[in-house]
Structure 1
Amino acid sequence: MTKLQWAVIASAIGMFFILYLGCDTTPEDIKALEKSRALAAESTDINALLQEAKPALSGISSSTVLALETELEETVSDSARAEVFKRLASKWYELGQPAISGYYAQQVAELLGTEESWSIAGTTYTICIQQSQEQKIRDFCTGRAVQAFESAISLNPEEIAHQVNLALAYTSSPPPDNPMKGILMLRDLNQKAPDNVLVLNTLARLALQTGQYSKAVERLEHALELAPGNSNTICLLAEAYQGNGEAEKGKAFEEKCRSLTR
């Protein structure tokens, strides 16, 4: 993946996901146990995913992947390996394999240990959850998305975007024993930061998905007061007004949305 392509994945973070966990005070031994349990629940692994994906590659793509894998084997320093992992993550993302892309993005994060790299890994895994129809792949990506966002939060507990991303990972793949976990996280975050536009937009988007148009309108109108030029708010309002039976307002905001996204 080029630097631009890597940046595209990074930019998805702002649009995608986030939550509130506060400071990470979990002892390291407990964290290690939790990670071990999460990975043990996976019904597939990276080797199986690669074995399934590689036969479908074109000759050019297969050669590119092989060249990157060979380069990785010959690379020693962590900084150089991180760059190769980035290119592998970008290539597999380009090939429509976010699970594999997420794995390589996770390798970058484990080497660099930055909140941005962990957030990129988590975002890529969340894209995997949203796009995949196979439960084994969804399981593979779910636990890893959560771990990645929790790592980002532990590095910067005050960054609301990481917190929203974690909540969205849970809404994309709800825990069987707590299906409302992601929504409750977002509501809790909204109580703590009632004027945060990202949180308001995220809750509104989820309300639209469940047909709660009046609730979406209420949140979005508040967001618009706080940030009148926010394109996400404006475009979401177009859908919200139309769904709420306010066709004239919906049409007006649809035109505004088009002008902002041209």
Structure 2
Amino acid sequence: MTKLQWAVIAGALALFLVLYLGCDRKPEDIASLETSRALSVESTDINLVIQEAKAVLEPAQRSMISGLEQDLESSLEDSIRVGLYKELSGEWYQLQRFSIAGHYAQQVAEVENNEGAWSIAGTTYSICTQRTTEERIKSFCSKRAIQAFENAISLNPENLANRVNLALTYTNNPPEDNPMKGVLMLRELNQEQPDNVLVLNALGRLSIRTGQFENAVKRLEAALKADSQNVTTICLLAQAYEGAGNAEQANAFAEQCRQLRQ
């Protein structure tokens, strides 16, 4: 069960790209990012969030979480603690408490300090920003998602998925002083790799969200040319053509989308 739950979170990286779908070429190194984290001021105390969440759990759920917490408190070895962090992250993910799931995924990443773990932490926090309606939680998750993706990028700058996800985090939660930051990141990535399907899908989705349907069709048709069987591209084209008023194409792509998802 534990391995399955953690696999769900690991798979969330792909899920995030599918559902929502750049950045500085080389962010600061890990030491600088850790210093930035220590100096940043957060409006949300994760321990308080955990206590609030536990208060509304069913008795069996609360017992499960409390048992894992007790095991964690009594464990000294990193390998055991990492396993418990993963279990707690998986349990909270299943309960759709994504801020807490992200917190424990971050604990894993801080011990393992590899690209994959930081990507999972960033993705879990990003899902939190999409699903929550509470501003203090959204802000908390957005800040930590950015930090996690920057850490992942610093460990492997060539992995485009982390760069796209960082840009998307900014587009979903635009900074007040630079609301176009995420869009500009994606455009920069598109200039660097004009035929990259991941980037084109992200730009296409953003165009759909802003009602620029003709532009979305253009981006997504370019993505389809690069990968004719990409499910995300095909499903997005159904939405783009529908918004553009082309019912025939919208229906054709919608049918392809249904068939590919079966």
Whether TM exceeds 0.5 here: the answer is yes
Identify the residue that residue 167 of structure 2 maps to in structure 1.
167
Amino acid at match of 2:122: G
Identify the residue that residue 2 of structure 1 maps to in structure 2.
2
Identify the residue that residue 187 of structure 1 maps to in structure 2.
187
SS of the residue corresponding to residue 133 of structure 2 reads coil
Structure 2 distance, partners of 1:216, 1:225, is 14
Q: CA deviation at 1:34?
A: 2.2
Q: CA deviation at 1:12?
A: 2.0
Q: Percent identity?
A: 53
Structure 1 distance, partners of 2:239, 2:30, is 45
Structure 2 distance, partners of 1:27, 1:8, is 27
**Match runs of 1:131-142 below 5 Å:** 131-142=131-142
**Any idea what the Cα deviations from partners look like across 1:54-100, whole Å, max 9, x if unmatched?**
11000110000011101111222111111110000010111110001
State how many pairs are aligned: 259
- The reply to whether residue 21 of structure 1 matches residue 32 of structure 2 is no
Identify the residue that residue 35 of structure 1 maps to in structure 2.
37
Identify the residue that residue 222 of structure 2 maps to in structure 1.
222
Query: Structure 1 pair 12/88, CA: closer, same or farther in 2 (3 Å)?
Result: same
Amino acid at match of 1:239: Q
Q: Is the 8 A contact 1:21 1:153 kept in 2?
A: no
Q: Is the 8 A contact 1:21 1:157 kept in 2?
A: no
Structure 2 distance, partners of 1:44, 1:181, is 24
SS of the residue corresponding to residue 73 of structure 2 reads helix
Structure 1 distance, partners of 2:117, 2:242, is 38
Identify the residue that residue 211 of structure 1 maps to in structure 2.
211
Structure 2 distance, partners of 1:32, 1:198, is 29
Q: CA deviation at 1:10?
A: 1.6
Structure 1 distance, partners of 2:80, 2:30, is 31
Q: Is the 8 A contact 1:85 1:108 kept in 2?
A: yes
Q: CA deviation at 1:35?
A: 1.8
Amino acid at match of 2:4: L
Identify the residue that residue 258 of structure 1 maps to in structure 2.
258
**Match runs of 1:42-53 below 5 Å:** 42-53=42-53
SS of the residue corresponding to residue 211 of structure 1 reads coil
Of 168-177 and 7-16, deviating more is 7-16
**Any idea what the Cα deviations from partners look like across 1:97-139, whole Å, max 9, x if unmatched?**
0001100000000011111110010011111111111111112
RMSD: 1.5
TM-score w.r.t. the length of structure 2 is: 0.95
TM-score w.r.t. the length of structure 1 is: 0.95
- The reply to whether residue 153 of structure 1 matches residue 156 of structure 2 is no
Q: CA deviation at 1:36?
A: 2.7
In structure 2, the gaps of 5 or more residues are none
Identify the residue that residue 95 of structure 2 maps to in structure 1.
95
SS of the residue corresponding to residue 5 of structure 1 reads helix
Identify the residue that residue 77 of structure 1 maps to in structure 2.
77
Structure 2 distance, partners of 1:92, 1:45, is 17
Structure 2 distance, partners of 1:114, 1:161, is 15
Identify the residue that residue 127 of structure 1 maps to in structure 2.
127
Structure 2 distance, partners of 1:216, 1:223, is 11
Structure 2 distance, partners of 1:19, 1:255, is 32
